[in-house]
Amino acid sequence: MSKAQQGTAIVTGASAGLGKIYADRLARRGYDLVLVARRGDKLAELADTLTRQYGVQVRPFVADLSRSDDVERLADLIRDDAGITMLVNNAGVSVPGSTTTLDPADVAWQQAINVDAVNRLSLAALPAFLERDRGTLVNIASILGFGFLPSSTFYSAGKGHVANLTRALQNEVQGTNVRVQLVAPSVTATEIWEEDRLNAMDPRIVMTAEDCVDAALAGLDLGEQVTFPSVEDAQLWKNFEEAAAKLMQGAMSGRPASRYQAAAHA
């Protein structure tokens, strides 16, 4: 496709990690870019590199997605610019800790970026894409959206929200030319991890940011709605979906389950 056909992709959290690799790979595919992050110097440097390397137009968009006014500025751009054909909701932070050690202000900051910004930007993108009958929304969640670790309570909860949100949005765009992809990486070598924690892990379970993004884009090309970059056995996800559907069906009753009725009359 030509650059005009590809349109413009917005990538949040583009100054480092997965976002920086997404920016490179999408520019290579011929997308013009809007790169979003707090660090304007990093964005300007990356924009210059990608413009020279791939000949695409790159616009830095300095924003702190924990701030509602900055999120709203970006939402306005998504709604108003008909040339935008992709949004990658990649920006994310991790505040590890238990409920006995976490600062509520840190939890609120994490929630604002990992959940609230994704909600707001998805709400801006999907109606605009549906009106144009063209567009791709990619939401980056985590394998921890489907489970949790002792120190990941609020992070897992937020990524679980992103996973369920994205799956529900996929139902809304059925029968259209709009695509919605959920990406759920496992341990990936990015700045979201503290260096000492990352170094303490078995290197065999740590994926590079490059491999993660390349797998995610390959999944998008294959038409996957949900991409787990490091999961070899694709049947695991099919089993999970089937079990969830059975659980939902099993809940469709107006009577308490027999085990509770028996306990109530014991």
Catalytic positions, please? Answer: 155
Cβ–Cβ < 8 Å for 197, 206: no
At 141, give phi and psi (nearest 5°).
-105, -130
The DSSP code for 30 is: T
134 alpha-carbon distance from chain centroid: 19
List for the chain the helix, strand, coil content (%; round to 5): 55, 15, 30
Q: Count other Cβ atoms within 10 Å, centred on residue 230.
A: 16
Q: What is the residue whose two structure tokens read 């009958």?
A: 133
At 251, give phi and psi (nearest 5°).
-85, -10
Which own/partner pairs from 200-209 qualify as long-range (CB within 8 Å, at least 24 positions apart)?
A: 209/17, 209/18, 209/20, 209/21
**Four-residue CA torsion sign, 124, 127, 130, 132:** negative
At 109, give phi and psi (nearest 5°).
-60, -45
Q: How far apart are CA 203 and CA 115, in angstroms?
A: 29
